[in-house]
């Protein structure tokens, strides 16, 4: 049984590690962002309500997000555990999650925070280049295209995603430090937090995460 929360700034590698853990432990990766997009696509009552909230530029209320997670955790694939990715994001959400899990007779087993310096995250994300034509992705330093500013597969000019613009990344990091980083203290006080260093090499980060999981379980 592994009921896990992954914390980390945008670009820290949470999604990649969640995918690896999901495959290794046979448990689902639960992303509230993905669930919300699915509900909107289905045109459900919740999806339509969330869509109007997002289009108005507002945040989805905590009670709606918690309700989404509650329903998702009832699925059979969660009986041996799960990974929460992107939730909770704030202390009130974490408190609501604890209350909801207590009502279900459950609890979080471990919380892993992947730490990467802001400067390294900006370097990682602003160096990304993508091909809009074939979907190939590169990095100017770690994985450069053999065709310089063009795609090595199809020759299309590579572009920078809006989310990878250095100014946008800096703003996202500011929000993370203000809203989400305090969760580390919250879970540290519960004795559940494990902090690991996110490294340039994927295998090094994975090794650090696996070590933290062994210590936590």
Active site residue 89: yes
**Catalytic choice (172, 184, 188, 192):** 172
- Number of Cβ within a 10 Å radius of residue 111: 25
Dihedral of alpha carbons 159, 162, 165, 169, sign? negative
**Catalytic choice (42, 79, 133, 161):** 161
Active site residue 172: yes
Active site residue 72: no
Residue 176 DSSP label: I
**Catalytic choice (89, 123, 124, 129):** 89
**Catalytic choice (124, 128, 129, 194):** 128
Active site residue 129: no
Q: Are 136 and 150 in contact (CB under 8 A)?
A: no
The residue count for the chain: 217
Q: Which two tokens stand for residue 146?
A: 């053999």
**Catalytic choice (14, 123, 129, 194):** 14
- Beta strands at 81-85 and 29-31: parallel, antiparallel or unpaired: parallel
Active site residue 194: no
Instruction: Match 């279900």 to its residue by tokens.
Output: 104
Residue 147 DSSP label: B
Q: Compute the distance between CA of residue 43 and CA of residue 41 in angstroms, rounded to an integer.
A: 5
Question: What positions carry a catalytic annotation?
Answer: 14, 89, 128, 161, 172
């Amino acid at each position: 049984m592994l009921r896990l929360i992954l914390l980390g700034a945008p670009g820290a590698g949470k999604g990649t590690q969640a995918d690896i853990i999901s495959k290794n432990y046979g448990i689902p990766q639960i992303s509230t962002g993905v669930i919300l997009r699915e509900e909107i696509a289905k045109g459900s009552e919740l999806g339509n309500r969330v869509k109007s909230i997002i289009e108005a530029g507002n945040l989805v209320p905590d009670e709606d997000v918690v309700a989404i997670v509650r329903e998702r955790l009832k699925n059979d694939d969660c009986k041996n555990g799960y990974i929460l990715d992107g939730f909770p994001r704030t202390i009130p959400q974490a408190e609501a999650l604890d209350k909801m899990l207590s009502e279900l007779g459950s609890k979080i087993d471990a919380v892993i925070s992947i730490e990467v310096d802001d400067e390294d995250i900006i370097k990682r994300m602003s160096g990304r280049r993508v091909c809009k034509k074939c979907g190939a992705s590169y990095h100017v330093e770690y994985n450069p295209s053999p065709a310089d500013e063009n795609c090595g597969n199809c020759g299309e000019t590579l572009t920078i995603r809006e989310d990878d613009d250095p100014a946008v990344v800096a703003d996202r990091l500011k929000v993370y430090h203000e809203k989400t980083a305090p969760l580390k203290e919250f879970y540290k006080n519960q004795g559940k937090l494990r902090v690991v260093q996110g490294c340039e090499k994927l295998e090094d980060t994975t090794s650090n995460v696996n070590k933290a999981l062994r210590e936590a379980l």
